[in-house]
């Protein structure tokens, strides 16, 4: 904007500035909705990319779990084969060796590892074989 010597604005610039302001407002009215659509499209693409990445992560984790389970199952099968072979060897070595089994039983008795008696409670809470021992289940006339 230029000033004249009198301090007045040249009136030719006023219509140009007004036209520029009108064009700026018109461009804003045309561009704002388009920018909103553009922004939503970018947001949707970002969400889609994130969902795709999360799905791929879950697939990789599931694949790793499946491979791990297969390997653990294989290890368990191999361990079971080893135990079965060991049991077969022990069984073959004890077959026809009654004296050694008797010796092991006697050693168990001497070491205090004799078999223990297990009582199974009944509906009254007492073992069946021990019910008469304490006088339960016996009527006074029978005593």
The CA distance from 8 to 12, in Å, is 12
The CA distance from 124 to 7, in Å, is 118
pLDDT at 6: 44
When pLDDT is cut at 50, 70 and 90, the band that residue 135 belongs to is low
Whole-structure pTM value? 0.42
User: What residues does 3 pair with on adjacent strands?
Assistant: 9
Q: Are 61 and 67 in contact (CB under 8 A)?
A: no
Residue 101 has pLDDT above 90, yes or no: no
pLDDT at 15: 79
When pLDDT is cut at 50, 70 and 90, the band that residue 77 belongs to is very high
Residue 72 has pLDDT above 90, yes or no: yes
Phi then psi dihedrals of residue 64, to 5 deg: -65, -40
Radius of gyration of the chain (CA): 47
Over residues 4-24, the mean pLDDT reads 74
């Amino acid at each position: 904007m230029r000033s004249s010597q009198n301090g007045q604005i040249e009136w030719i610039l006023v219509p140009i500035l007004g036209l520029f302001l009108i064009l700026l407002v018109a461009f804003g009215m045309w561009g704002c909705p388009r920018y909103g659509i553009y922004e939503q499209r970018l947001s949707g693409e970002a969400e889609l990319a994130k969902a795709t990445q999360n799905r791929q992560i879950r697939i990789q984790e599931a694949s790793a779990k499946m491979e791990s389970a297969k390997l653990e199952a294989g290890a368990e099968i191999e361990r079971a084969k080893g135990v079965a072979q060991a049991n077969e060897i022990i069984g073959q070595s004890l077959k026809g060796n009654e004296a050694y089994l008797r010796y092991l039983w006697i050693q168990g008795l001497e070491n205090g590892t004799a078999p223990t008696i297990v009582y199974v409670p009944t509906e009254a809470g007492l073992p069946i074989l021990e019910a008469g021992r304490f006088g339960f289940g016996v009527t006074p006339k029978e005593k």
